[in-house]
C-alpha cells in the first residue's frame, strides 16, 4: 500500500475513534495530551519569579550544569525535593537554561548513589505558566503523583519542565532532541545536589508528549550522555505518526490545539519554518492572542477546535521543509540500544491505539527491543496511573540486569 494510502487509512480510523470519544464521554484532556484544568496564562510568568531568570551569561555551556536548586515541600513523608535550574542545549546548539524538579529519599544515599528514574510529562502547553515546577497541574497522573512512589521504591525521581516552560522562549513542543536533552541533562544536574544522592544508572519514563520525549531520550542517550548507564525506557501512549495527526486535524476539532502547539514549537526550533506559511490570517491572530495570554494546552484546544480545517491556508504536509521536520521528530529514526516497555490503553482517545500500533511496527522493523502491552478498557491517563506496579517491577528488573521480554516478531 502506498505511503499516502496508509496515512489516509490511519487517519480515517483515528477519525472513527475520536468521533466515538466525543459521543461517549471517554478521555478528556484537551488537544494532544494532558492539558486540562490548571493554572491559566498570565500568572507566574518568568518576570514574576527570579528563580527562573537565567544568569547572563550562563555559568557554563556544559549540558547538565546545575545553575541553582531551591528546596520544595517534600512530595511525601520521608522524602526531600528541589526545583532546579540547569544548563541544556537548544536544537540549534545554543546553551540554554531549563527548569525541573528532583525528589529523593531523605537520609544518606547508598554507595554509588540511588538509581534514577527521569519522568517526561504530558502536554501542558507552550508558555511559561504551564511549567510543572511552578505548580501547574493538568488534573491528571503527573510527577506530583509519581514522585512519592519512585522515592518509596528507593529511586531518585527527576522531571524536566522542558525547554521554554518556565524559562525564556517558546517551548519546542514535540521537538524530540529538545525533549530528550532536557530529560537527560536534569539527571546530571541532580547529581550535583549532594543531599539527593543521585547515581548514574537510569530508567527513562514518560507518557503522551512525555512518551515521545522518553523515546527520544533513549535514542540519543549513548551520544548525548554516554556517562549515564541507561538500562531501559518506558513510554506510555506516546505522541507519534505526525503526518497522520496533521491530516486528522483537518477533520477532527480535538486534534487542532495539538497541531497549533506543534507548529508553534517547530517554528521556535527551526529557522526555515514559519507558521505564517501555514495558517490563515484569522488563525494566526488567534494563535498570537493565545501566546500573548500565556495560554496552556486546554486553552489552545478550546480555541483551535473552532477553526475549520485546523485554520490551514496551506497544510504543512504540502511544504517540504515542514515534512522533513515532522518526519525527523517522529520517534523511531534511530535504534534504541536498551529495552523499551511500550504501554497503551485500548480505549485511549487522546493517543488512539492505531497510532501506537503503527509506531510499534516501525520500532520493531528498525530492530528495537519492544515489549508492547495493551490494556483493555484503559484510557489515556490509565496507561500510567493503573500501571505503576508494572512500571516499577519492569524498572527494578532492568536495574537488576534481568533480560527483558519482547513482543517483536522476527
**What gap in Å lies between CA 85 and CA 53, rounded to an integer?**
9
Residue 65, all three cell numbers: 550544569
Torsion sign (Cα): 46, 50, 53, 56 = positive
Counting beta carbons within 10 angstroms of the beta carbon of residue 283, is it exposed (0 to 12), middle (13 to 18) or buried (19 or more)? buried
Q: Are 84 and 100 in contact (CB under 8 A)?
A: yes
Element of type H or E holding 116: strand 114-120
**What gap in Å lies between CA 126 and CA 45, rounded to an integer?**
12
User: For each of the chain's 410 residues, which pLDDT tens digit applies?
Assistant: 333 334 434 444 443 434 333 333 333 333 333 433 232 233 334 447 999 999 999 999 999 999 999 999 999 999 999 999 999 999 999 999 999 999 999 989 999 999 999 999 999 999 999 999 999 987 679 999 999 999 999 999 999 999 999 999 999 999 999 999 999 999 999 999 999 999 999 999 999 999 999 999 999 999 999 999 999 999 999 999 999 999 988 898 999 999 999 999 999 999 999 999 999 999 999 999 999 999 999 999 999 999 999 999 999 999 999 999 999 999 999 999 999 999 999 999 899 999 999 999 999 999 999 999 999 999 999 999 999 999 999 999 999 999 999 999 87
Of 287, 252, 254, nearest in space to 268 by CA: 287
**What gap in Å lies between CA 130 and CA 137, rounded to an integer?**
8
Beta bridge partners of 100: 84, 160
Q: Are 322 and 279 in contact (CB under 8 A)?
A: no
**What gap in Å lies between CA 158 and CA 120, rounded to an integer?**
9
Phi, psi for 212 (deg, rounded to 5): -65, -50
Of 344, 200, 196, 322, nearest in space to 263 by CA: 322
CA dist list (Å): 30 to 74, 182, 248, 255? 30, 24, 15, 8
48-121+131-240+335-399 domain in CATH 3.20.10.10?
no
**Helices and strands in the chain: count of H runs, count of E runs:** 12, 9
Q: What is the pLDDT of residue 139?
A: 64
CA dist list (Å): 264 to 127, 174, 244, 351? 11, 10, 18, 20
Counting beta carbons within 10 angstroms of the beta carbon of residue 59, is it exposed (0 to 12), middle (13 to 18) or buried (19 or more)? middle
In three state form, how does the secondary structure of 243-256 look?
Answer: HHHHHHHCCCHHHH
What are the domain boundaries of the chain? 48-121+131-240+335-399
Amino acid at each position: 500500500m502506498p505511503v499516502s494510502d496508509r496515512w489516509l487509512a490511519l487517519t480515517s480510523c483515528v477519525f472513527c475513534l475520536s468521533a466515538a470519544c466525543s459521543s461517549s464521554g471517554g478521555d478528556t484532556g484537551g488537544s494532544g495530551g494532558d492539558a486540562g484544568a490548571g493554572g491559566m496564562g498570565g500568572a507566574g510568568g518568568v518576570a514574576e519569579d527570579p528563580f527562573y531568570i537565567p544568569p547572563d551569561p550562563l555559568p557554563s555551556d556544559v549540558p547538565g550544569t546545575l545553575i541553582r536548586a531551591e528546596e520544595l515541600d517534600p512530595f511525601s513523608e520521608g522524602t526531600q525535593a528541589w526545583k532546579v535550574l540547569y544548563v541544556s542545549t537548544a536544537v540549534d546548539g545554543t546553551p540554554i537554561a531549563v527548569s525541573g524538579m528532583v525528589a529523593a529519599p531523605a537520609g544518606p544515599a547508598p554507595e554509588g548513589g540511588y538509581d534514577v528514574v527521569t519522568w517526561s510529562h504530558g502536554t501542558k502547553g507552550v508558555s511559561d505558566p504551564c511549567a510543572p515546577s511552578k505548580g501547574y497541574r493538568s488534573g491528571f497522573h503527573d510527577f506530583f503523583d509519581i514522585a512519592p512512589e519512585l522515592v518509596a521504591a528507593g529511586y531518585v525521581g527527576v522531571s524536566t519542565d522542558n525547554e521554554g516552560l518556565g524559562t525564556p522562549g517558546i517551548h519546542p513542543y514535540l521537538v524530540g532532541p529538545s525533549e530528550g536533552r532536557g530529560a537527560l541533562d536534569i539527571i546530571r544536574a541532580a547529581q550535583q545536589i549532594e543531599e539527593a544522592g543521585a547515581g548514574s544508572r537510569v530508567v527513562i519514563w514518560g507518557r503522551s508528549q512525555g512518551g515521545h520525549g522518553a523515546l527520544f531520550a533513549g535514542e540519543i542517550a549513548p551520544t548525548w550522555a554516554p556517562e549515564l548507564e541507561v538500562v531501559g525506557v518506558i513510554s506510555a501512549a506516546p505522541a507519534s505518526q505526525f503526518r497522520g495527526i496533521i491530516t486528522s486535524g483537518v477533520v477532527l476539532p480535538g486534534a487542532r490545539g495539538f497541531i497549533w502547539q506543534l507548529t508553534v514549537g517547530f517554528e521556535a526550533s527551526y529557522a526555515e519554518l514559519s507558521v505564517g506559511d501555514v495558517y490563515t490570517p484569522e488563525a494566526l491572530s488567534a494563535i498570537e492572542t493565545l501566546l500573548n495570554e500565556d495560554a496552556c494546552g486546554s486553552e489552545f484546544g478550546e480555541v483551535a477546535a473552532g477553526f475549520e480545517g485546523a485554520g490551514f491556508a496551506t497544510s504543512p504536509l504540502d511544504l517540504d521543509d515542514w515534512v522533513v521536520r515532522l518526519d525527523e521528530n517522529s520517534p523511531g529514526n534511530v535504534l534504541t540500544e536498551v529495552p523499551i516497555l511500550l504501554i497503551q490503553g485500548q480505549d485511549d482517545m487522546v493517543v488512539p491505539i492505531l497510532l501506537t500500533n503503527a509506531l510499534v511496527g516501525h520500532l520493531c522493523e528498525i530492530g528495537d527491543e519492544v515489549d508492547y502491552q495493551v490494556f483493555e478498557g484503559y484510557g489515556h491517563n490509565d496507561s500510567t496511573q493503573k500501571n505503576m506496579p508494572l512500571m516499577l517491577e519492569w524498572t527494578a528488573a532492568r536495574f537488576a540486569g534481568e533480560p527483558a521480554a519482547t513482543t517483536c516478531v522476527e
